[in-house]
Amino acid sequence: MSDWRDDAGRFLPGNRFWEARSSCGPNPKFSGPDELWRACCEYFSWNAENPLYEAKAFAYEGAVTVEDLPKMRAMTLAGLCMFLDIGEQTWRDWRSTRPDLSGVITRAEAVIRRQKFEGASAGLLVPSIIARDLGLADRQEISGPDKGPVQVSADAAELRGILTGMASNLPKEGEA
């Protein structure tokens, strides 16, 4: 049948079939950083050339017309990965397993982050959604001395007064 199989199709003892393959695993999706960068730039261009549209109604002299207004489409890592036909986990894995691509990965993520930040800053994207997506938050940490816990002390009379005030604001039995 072949040099590796018998007439029943079973591998012959001592066969070295695996040597027929020139490499292990599937061929890489992107052979190098230039190819990946070109594909990322295609996504960036596609994103700019394909805005989202909002239907907006306008009234003029009693006539109402509806127009489609272009809106900025936010770039996303998920969108880029879909465009590249790879999984998001593959993208993350490439950061450590493909050092040849790590510079392009960092640069592409910076382009996406900057586009979202600038779009939100200009009011072209919803700032609160983009801020959450970018991990931005307006937080204030309150702490006690030497960054320890906040401690509040009150004597029994103060606590009784606070509880009495709170109780007077509760609805009476039978009221809703």
pLDDT tens-digit map of 11-35 = 677 666 556 555 566 667 888 999 9
CA dist., res. 25 & res. 90, Å (int): 15
Q: Where are the domains of the chain?
A: 30-137
Task: Measure the CA angle with vertex 93, ends 89 and 95; round to 5°.
Answer: 125
Q: What is the pLDDT of residues 88-121, one digit of tens each?
A: 999 999 999 999 999 999 999 999 999 998 998 8
Query: Which residues does residue 63 pair with via DSSP β-bridges, in sequence order?
Result: 60
Q: Tell whether pTM > 0.85.
A: no
- The Cβ of residue 33 has, within 10 Å, a number of other Cβ atoms equal to 17
Is the CATH code 1.10.132.80 the one for domain 30-137? Answer: yes
Distances in whole angstroms, Cα of residue 133 to Cα of each of 61, 75, 82, 138: 43, 11, 18, 14
